[in-house]
Structure 1
């Protein structure tokens, strides 16, 4: 891992037990990358490197990478997936978007539906929203009793530790946007007919609870950033910065995992094609 990669991770990673004040984190942080065009080109290169490393991970077939993307509406979860993983071969990547739980899912514990879609060995799994909805919207909207919500933090930590101990490396990214930026993106969805499908009137209702959600995110980051499943707070007001930061951390993590093509038991020179 390069010094630049270590510095990026150190700047964005939430240390275990660290108390976070999101209002003190600049969603337009200009210290990460200087030139937009150069950064976009570098991000494309990182995407290709991720593809190469993912091919090795798939061939190795013994470990997995789980990437969790969590953020308020319009924070750019879909855009991140397109930018960072667009070059990656689809065979070894799965994307799961979490919506409201179904009747069947509600009949089980809240992690039941999550475990079922975790990445199998050899693959990268991407969560667009995640099990953390149950301590975010679940908390703000009071969808479960307070004591039940309180239990979930340690249940999530234990669940993620089980995944880590069984060969899944976990990266979690909180896409941090400002309220002003969210307003602009929601307005853009209203103004552009090609984006009407993205607009959900419920997003405006959630926006009325902005401060409550920020508090819920701060608690989540404080309680659930662990050595085995760290959170990273990614400034997301500028999409190209968001994409570059996540691509850099994903690539550095895969490189550190250093997956290897398996060695075969036969000698290729023993075979000839006619």
Structure 2
């Protein structure tokens, strides 16, 4: 990574990275209010720079057409996943980005293994794919709500107490398979505090233009806050790998969360370092032939004297 920006970004996101093999206690190890001594004004400028970096490298990724990137966004309700996607990807070509959101699985999806529906929505080479919630729901919400596991129609031996450790291994192996085939897996957890979630829920209730965002189910799910924190701690500990590390992004300040998400994705693209294809000698000759033909089609430019004579 010759680009100086890559080194600055790597230093910036290092405190957010979950070291592979480490044991995470989410509440103790990561502060949702962390902001790296930045002001909001400085943050606005940094985000603009990050968006430019993404636009530049995404264009090169699409042109090279041999690698792809999958960004997995996980968070508690109201952490800002939609806003993060909207702001971070604001400068890229939408033709090169595919966003997939995963809700309750359909009957068809339940008839397949739990990774099938995610496999079907992976990005193509040259694309950035974004999972707004991801395959990690299968070891988070499904773990917090065991009744969802029963709906997956698994045989008895697949529902034993070792199911979560087995799924961690399967997910790590799947992501390793993707990495080995040219698809970088970038994993971001937007780390929201319980108090900030409460304030955002109140804002959704109090502001008419935000009412549509609120569901009473969100409040019911909030009752499981501690269970989710334990589940996330286990997921971060078990599935942050050298080939697909987790980044825990402080989410209590939306502006800082967006900077961090842009930096993490930008860093992944810079590590790939995609290049515009170069053409061979024969292709270069064809280009020059085409150029000469186009030049011959140029309109004749007449002088002002000629134009004046024609008017007379």
TM-score range for the pair, normalised by the shorter chain length: over 0.9
CA distance in 2, matches of 1:59, 1:115: 24
In the alignment, is the contact (CA less than 8 A) between 1:134 and 1:149 conserved in 2?
A: no
Query: Which of 46, 52, 63 is the equivalent residue of 1:59?
Result: 63
User: Paired residue for 1:166?
Assistant: 181
User: Paired residue for 1:121?
Assistant: 125
1:3: Cα distance to partner?
Answer: 3.8
User: Paired residue for 1:217?
Assistant: 232
Please state whether the residue corresponding to 2:162 is helix, strand or coil.
Answer: helix
Please state whether the residue corresponding to 1:260 is helix, strand or coil.
Answer: coil
User: Paired residue for 1:75?
Assistant: 79
- Map Cα deviations across residues 138-196 of structure 1 (whole Å, 9 max, x no partner): 00011224433332111111111111110001110010010000000011111111111
User: After alignment, is 137-146 or 201-210 more displaced?
Assistant: 137-146
User: Paired residue for 1:271?
Assistant: 290
1:52: Cα distance to partner?
Answer: 1.4
User: Paired residue for 1:256?
Assistant: 271
- Map Cα deviations across residues 14-68 of structure 1 (whole Å, 9 max, x no partner): 11121111112210013x2412112112202211220111011001100001111
In the alignment, is the contact (CA less than 8 A) between 1:76 and 1:239 conserved in 2?
A: yes
Query: Which of 80, 88, 91 is the equivalent residue of 1:87?
Result: 91
CA distance in 1, matches of 2:65, 2:273: 13
User: Paired residue for 1:206?
Assistant: 221
CA distance in 1, matches of 2:271, 2:175: 20
1:252: Cα distance to partner?
Answer: 2.1
CA distance in 2, matches of 1:190, 1:82: 22
User: After alignment, is 141-150 or 106-115 more displaced?
Assistant: 141-150
> Cα RMSD between the aligned structures?
1.2
From the superposition, tell whether residues 90 and 60 of structure 1 become closer, same or farther in structure 2 (CA, over 3 Å): same
From the superposition, tell whether residues 93 and 255 of structure 1 become closer, same or farther in structure 2 (CA, over 3 Å): same
CA distance in 1, matches of 2:270, 2:16: 19
In the alignment, is the contact (CA less than 8 A) between 1:8 and 1:249 conserved in 2?
A: no
TM-score (norm. length: structure 2): 0.85
**Number of equivalent positions:** 273
Pairing 1:82-161 to 2, within 5 Å after superposition: 82-142=86-146, 143-144=148-149, 145=159, 146-161=161-176
CA distance in 1, matches of 2:251, 2:78: 10
1:270: Cα distance to partner?
Answer: 2.7
User: Paired residue for 2:259?
Assistant: 244
CA distance in 2, matches of 1:128, 1:109: 20
Higher Cα radius of gyration: 2
User: Paired residue for 2:307?
Assistant: none
Pairing 1:14-53 to 2, within 5 Å after superposition: 14-24=18-28, 25-30=30-35, 32-53=36-57
In the alignment, is the contact (CA less than 8 A) between 1:33 and 1:39 conserved in 2?
A: no
TM-score (norm. length: structure 1): 0.96
Q: Which consecutive residues of structure 2, in runs of 5 or more, have no partner in the other structure? A: 150-158, 298-312
1:254: Cα distance to partner?
Answer: 1.0
